[in-house]
Protein backbone atom coordinates (compact mmCIF):
# COMPACT_ATOMS: atom_id res chain seq x y z
CA UNK A 1 0.00 0.00 0.00
CA UNK A 2 1.36 3.40 -0.93
CA UNK A 3 1.89 6.13 1.64
CA UNK A 4 -0.74 8.28 -0.06
CA UNK A 5 -3.36 5.54 0.04
CA UNK A 6 -2.50 4.75 3.66
CA UNK A 7 -2.84 8.42 4.63
CA UNK A 8 -6.16 8.70 2.76
CA UNK A 9 -7.54 5.69 4.64
CA UNK A 10 -6.49 7.15 7.98
CA UNK A 11 -8.17 10.48 7.30
CA UNK A 12 -11.32 9.17 5.58
CA UNK A 13 -14.58 9.94 7.37
CA UNK A 14 -16.45 7.09 8.99
CA UNK A 15 -19.20 6.97 6.41
CA UNK A 16 -21.23 3.80 6.28
CA UNK A 17 -23.32 3.45 3.11
CA UNK A 18 -27.04 3.93 3.72
CA UNK A 19 -30.08 4.71 1.64
CA UNK A 20 -31.32 7.13 4.27
CA UNK A 21 -30.92 10.78 3.29
CA UNK A 22 -28.05 12.78 4.74
CA UNK A 23 -30.61 14.76 6.77
CA UNK A 24 -32.03 11.51 8.14
CA UNK A 25 -28.55 10.32 9.10
CA UNK A 26 -27.80 13.62 10.81
CA UNK A 27 -31.14 13.86 12.62
CA UNK A 28 -31.32 10.23 13.70
CA UNK A 29 -27.64 9.96 14.66
CA UNK A 30 -27.97 13.04 16.85
CA UNK A 31 -31.14 11.81 18.52
CA UNK A 32 -29.79 8.30 19.06
CA UNK A 33 -26.47 9.56 20.43
CA UNK A 34 -28.28 11.79 22.95
CA UNK A 35 -30.44 8.80 23.84
CA UNK A 36 -27.30 6.70 24.30
CA UNK A 37 -25.89 9.34 26.67
CA UNK A 38 -29.10 9.12 28.71
CA UNK A 39 -28.95 5.32 28.72
CA UNK A 40 -25.38 5.37 30.07
CA UNK A 41 -26.44 7.93 32.69
CA UNK A 42 -29.40 5.82 33.77
CA UNK A 43 -27.26 2.68 33.80
CA UNK A 44 -24.67 4.23 36.09
CA UNK A 45 -27.30 5.73 38.38
CA UNK A 46 -29.11 2.38 38.60
CA UNK A 47 -25.84 0.63 39.49
CA UNK A 48 -24.97 3.41 41.97
CA UNK A 49 -28.26 2.88 43.76
CA UNK A 50 -27.84 -0.91 43.51
CA UNK A 51 -24.44 -0.63 45.22
CA UNK A 52 -25.63 1.82 47.88
CA UNK A 53 -29.05 0.37 48.68
CA UNK A 54 -29.85 -0.12 52.35
CA UNK A 55 -32.86 -0.74 54.55
CA UNK A 56 -35.43 -3.41 55.29
CA UNK A 57 -36.06 -4.35 51.64
CA UNK A 58 -32.38 -4.33 50.74
CA UNK A 59 -32.23 -7.75 49.08
CA UNK A 60 -35.33 -7.26 46.90
CA UNK A 61 -34.34 -3.76 45.79
CA UNK A 62 -30.69 -4.69 45.33
CA UNK A 63 -31.60 -7.61 43.06
CA UNK A 64 -34.24 -5.62 41.14
CA UNK A 65 -31.79 -2.79 40.42
CA UNK A 66 -29.12 -5.27 39.35
CA UNK A 67 -31.56 -6.81 36.86
CA UNK A 68 -32.64 -3.39 35.63
CA UNK A 69 -29.03 -2.27 35.26
CA UNK A 70 -28.27 -5.29 33.10
CA UNK A 71 -31.30 -4.56 30.92
CA UNK A 72 -30.33 -0.91 30.51
CA UNK A 73 -26.70 -1.73 29.70
CA UNK A 74 -27.87 -4.23 27.07
CA UNK A 75 -29.26 -1.27 25.08
CA UNK A 76 -25.92 0.50 24.71
CA UNK A 77 -24.21 -1.55 22.02
CA UNK A 78 -27.27 -1.91 19.75
CA UNK A 79 -27.88 1.85 20.06
CA UNK A 80 -24.31 2.79 19.17
CA UNK A 81 -24.15 0.24 16.37
CA UNK A 82 -27.45 1.52 14.95
CA UNK A 83 -25.92 5.00 14.68
CA UNK A 84 -22.97 3.53 12.77
CA UNK A 85 -25.24 1.41 10.53
CA UNK A 86 -27.10 4.52 9.36
CA UNK A 87 -23.87 6.36 8.57
CA UNK A 88 -23.31 8.42 11.71
CA UNK A 89 -20.83 8.51 14.54
CA UNK A 90 -21.62 8.27 18.21
CA UNK A 91 -20.19 8.72 21.72
CA UNK A 92 -16.46 8.86 22.18
CA UNK A 93 -15.93 9.53 25.90
CA UNK A 94 -17.40 10.09 29.35
CA UNK A 95 -17.05 13.83 28.65
CA UNK A 96 -19.12 13.42 25.50
CA UNK A 97 -21.81 11.67 27.56
CA UNK A 98 -21.80 14.48 30.13
CA UNK A 99 -22.30 17.10 27.41
CA UNK A 100 -25.29 15.27 25.89
CA UNK A 101 -27.07 13.65 28.83
CA UNK A 102 -30.50 14.97 29.74
CA UNK A 103 -30.90 12.86 32.88
CA UNK A 104 -29.30 14.19 36.05
CA UNK A 105 -26.54 12.41 37.92
CA UNK A 106 -26.89 11.72 41.64
CA UNK A 107 -23.65 12.12 43.58
CA UNK A 108 -25.26 12.30 47.03
CA UNK A 109 -23.47 10.49 49.83
CA UNK A 110 -26.76 8.96 51.00
CA UNK A 111 -30.14 8.50 49.34
CA UNK A 112 -32.98 6.67 51.04
CA UNK A 113 -34.37 3.58 49.35
CA UNK A 114 -37.76 5.23 48.62
CA UNK A 115 -35.99 8.25 47.09
CA UNK A 116 -33.80 5.97 44.97
CA UNK A 117 -36.83 4.13 43.62
CA UNK A 118 -38.71 7.38 42.92
CA UNK A 119 -35.75 8.97 41.15
CA UNK A 120 -35.16 5.93 38.97
CA UNK A 121 -38.89 5.72 38.21
CA UNK A 122 -38.89 9.35 37.06
CA UNK A 123 -35.72 8.85 35.01
CA UNK A 124 -37.18 5.80 33.29
CA UNK A 125 -40.30 7.84 32.47
CA UNK A 126 -38.10 10.59 30.98
CA UNK A 127 -36.15 8.02 28.99
CA UNK A 128 -39.43 6.59 27.68
CA UNK A 129 -40.54 10.06 26.57
CA UNK A 130 -37.21 10.63 24.78
CA UNK A 131 -37.50 7.27 23.05
CA UNK A 132 -41.03 8.14 21.88
CA UNK A 133 -39.74 11.44 20.44
CA UNK A 134 -36.96 9.57 18.66
CA UNK A 135 -39.52 7.06 17.35
CA UNK A 136 -41.47 9.96 15.81
CA UNK A 137 -38.26 11.08 14.10
CA UNK A 138 -37.79 7.54 12.79
CA UNK A 139 -41.31 7.61 11.37
CA UNK A 140 -40.60 10.95 9.72
CA UNK A 141 -37.49 9.52 8.02
CA UNK A 142 -39.02 6.07 7.37
CA UNK A 143 -36.37 4.32 9.50
CA UNK A 144 -38.35 1.22 10.48
CA UNK A 145 -35.33 -0.68 11.83
CA UNK A 146 -34.53 1.93 14.48
CA UNK A 147 -38.24 2.34 15.26
CA UNK A 148 -38.50 -1.41 15.85
CA UNK A 149 -35.62 -1.36 18.35
CA UNK A 150 -37.15 1.61 20.15
CA UNK A 151 -40.51 -0.14 20.48
CA UNK A 152 -38.92 -2.98 22.45
CA UNK A 153 -36.92 -0.58 24.63
CA UNK A 154 -39.98 1.57 25.33
CA UNK A 155 -41.79 -1.54 26.57
CA UNK A 156 -38.82 -2.48 28.77
CA UNK A 157 -38.60 1.06 30.21
CA UNK A 158 -42.33 1.05 30.95
CA UNK A 159 -41.89 -2.25 32.80
CA UNK A 160 -39.00 -0.83 34.84
CA UNK A 161 -41.13 2.23 35.64
CA UNK A 162 -44.00 0.00 36.74
CA UNK A 163 -41.77 -2.14 38.98
CA UNK A 164 -40.15 0.92 40.55
CA UNK A 165 -43.55 2.51 41.14
CA UNK A 166 -45.02 -0.61 42.74
CA UNK A 167 -41.91 -1.28 44.86
CA UNK A 168 -41.98 2.31 46.13
CA UNK A 169 -45.64 2.34 47.22
Using CB atoms within 10 Å of the CB of residue 11, give its burial: 0 to 12 exposed, 13 to 18 middle, 19+ buried. Answer: exposed
By residue range, what is the domain housing residue 125?
21-167
Report if residue 116 sits inside a domain: yes
Q: What is the pLDDT of residues 84-122, one digit of tens each?
A: 999 999 999 999 999 999 999 999 999 999 999 999 999
Question: Does pTM top 0.85 for this prediction?
Answer: yes
Q: What is the pLDDT of residues 39-62, one digit of tens each?
A: 999 999 999 999 999 999 999 999
Q: Is residue 84 domain-resident? A: yes
In a domain, 53, yes or no: yes
Residue 141 in domain: yes
64 part of a folded domain = yes
- Split into its structural domains, the chain has a count of 1
Asked if residue 86 is part of any domain, the answer here is yes
Domain of 112: which CATH number?
Answer: 1.20.1260.10
Please state, in angstroms and as integers, the Cα–Cα distance from residue 106 to each residue in 42, 70, 79, 135, following that order: 10, 19, 24, 28
Amino acid sequence: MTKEKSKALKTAKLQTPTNLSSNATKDLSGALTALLADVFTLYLKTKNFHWHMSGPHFRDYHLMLDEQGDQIFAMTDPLAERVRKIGGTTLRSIGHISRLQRLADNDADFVTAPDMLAELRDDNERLTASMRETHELCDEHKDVATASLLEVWIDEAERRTWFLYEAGR
